[in-house]
Structure 1
């Protein structure tokens, strides 16, 4: 990616026109994908306002940007400026974001977009540095552009509007269109990067003097997926010849945070300007904990059935029944918080609560929350295992904003307390075996998993309760080697299925369709005989990686012993 950034940087010089700002997010394949110009305009406006506030107060920018205010289709997403991270509220997924500056007379400043066609017939924008290069070639009437200098194994025929994978010769359509120009970087920021904007677009993540923020812990012994250097053609094109996909946090929940220039993205919370509201930014953190109680699915073709907590029939009075019900209800918010936290006696630690971003010595801002109950705003507790401290009311508000399934996840280190469940719609999981071997596993047969999910109506745990959701591409066929480790992965996937962790309802990163069933950060192999797409075999690291992803969701071998 450094080559791509260097190429982008050469597109401007000291005489270039005023810079425009382009905001991009990094997908699970390591590709930077620009937000539309209209959305970038809103992001940049909010970013500049946060910069102004930070300069007046003498602190760094401490704001969050809910993207739903720019585009209703992006309602699940919130950008946290300090950590340069995008939160996805319905799944808790976190993605790296970056801000780059390009000359005003470049493709970005003119609102010109170059896009490639995906397998579903939709159009996906190129990374802005690639778009700038393609537009320069188009303006110079060059017939072809080789993207190899940018690190991509593609050649683009501008006349025929075709992209060809130089390794597989697979061809895709490309197109050029006009959209909303990207916003000017004004008023200029005082940081070193913006002061040097005339020298070209910024290529590193734009942190604006936020060095010194704690970096996320690395995952030791977590190997990246084995992907060939020549990107394949299915199911989606890979622009990068290498993947900058980074491992999830140890015991972390879901999203793989990308790494730019070797700097880990810190898992920082979103500061709440009005702590009395559990807003979208808090949902971005607490959505990691979102889960729905019950609805286990047997691994046969039997439909899922709901489960509820019932009081014993031996209750002889309403009073007695209430007492037992309260005692046996493991999901009541105050009971959950008190179960997993031990109250700090005496003076609280001289630290910030990373949920409300206030000192632990100060009262929580959620004292007016209706679920506060008997917990006082000044009470501070430590989670029993990881010992991270929080206001009790902050954790209570975070838990109450999720699905209240009786589990809790530390927003600092992602340690899971209790049994985490997800928001997967109803369906069924079928398993069979056959003797044919997978590439790289010639000594055994193959396990085939078939997932069946149909369209339906979203429940209260989903992004838009009451609205329909679609289920594209089902049944989905997945493959494991029929050896000891493959069978262990299968049993853990059964547990994850019962806990509704394999799929969720959200927005497709491939098609952009919202309110649809999507994968939920537990990678599956959907192809048998090739790994050109990264979704097949051979891949010697896959089984270890998926075991780590399952563990990050709280699904470990311990689950098989109970």
Structure 2
């Protein structure tokens, strides 16, 4: 389920004293003090300020990704690294969510909602270290995990053969009947069912070169492991290969270690929720293997198994400032002499009267009452009004009819510099069962606003990058991909403005071309299935002047 649905209500249950802890060199996180072997539990803060645990699978994914970020610390220090972790790779239900490590916030890509996260340590002998989770039944009929400290407390009471556990010390007015497995509200008598679940243990705390956790132990007989190879779920260079000896596995540049068993490719396509399938799984989907190349991913998450054309590493073209707006208007408009009894929809004055921008323009040849007609659509406006509209835009040499939105020339936007990577995945999207999928990863760093932005010279933020988006790998999906590449190069995908969800100003936001950020579901409305999405996004691209005609140029 999505992180926002993990649970709500109740009081915070602390896990002991907290201290500052450097998370792989890329941020400070709070941890609970514990003795002996420890496990790591990543938690998120709900609306009431209470800390809810991510699943063990998600926590392990975050820990692995932190190890990779730690290995890339030098690159990050020079501005070449990224410090975000996509949660959808561990749990498809969390596809919209990213953890931004420097700020320790969970960011929802489609809504911009941010929550704090933290990293807690607990003794390996306690419930999370044993893979035991206590949950209560919520109002929707689903199951919500108790806060970690409460799970530990309930497990201790259960193994101690207590019949009743009082949650008063955690700020709850509840009693838990461990015999009938129900939670009772002391004030109202209302009962909820509870359950004790067995899951994978939370990941152990790694202790450097001498680490003996389940991920590192298999290598012990073959000598030390390089730091760059430790704790990585697979090698970034390519698929795992079967070899005859442990030493050859370690030295092979394509070796990828999986601490848990992988699904055999021969039994069928890789399931939707598994992003860690071997590259040869592409054959089961009927996708062309000629488009596969194994190169290193430039994002901060683990490299994906299959890449389409490799990372594009596309930097968008920047609009050339046209110094003479008058010449642009002359290029696309024809002056007419007749006086029409209609309003100019730019200044709302009669076309037979003076332009509302009279005296506010530096036009050399346009008279105040001059009107003109656009070539293709035929709509008529004051020439001074069109010139003023152009000067208030990107000044990129294009005009857009304010009436029908027809674009003249090549429209460009104000998207900051960044990177667009494209990958081909063997997993299908809901609603497209017989094809693979395309993953687009956008990455834009923080920066300084240019003259085309709202506040030139002022910093802008870029929250939640890299952002992961998905398309079906069919004919129309590939067409949308090619048009999105054109839109990216024309700086039309993002812009700098005010977030409609968080209210933050001077930040990178989407620019009216909708993307699907959920891969395995449509919980938020930003995923699949959505039978109308491809047609809708083609219309949005056309509104920006990006059509199939652009692909023929």
Bin for the TM-score computed over the shorter chain: 0.3 to 0.5
Q: TM-score, with normalisation over the residues of structure 2?
A: 0.44
Q: TM-score, with normalisation over the residues of structure 1?
A: 0.44
Greater relative contact order: 1 or 2 (C-alpha under 8 angstroms, separation 6 or more)?
1
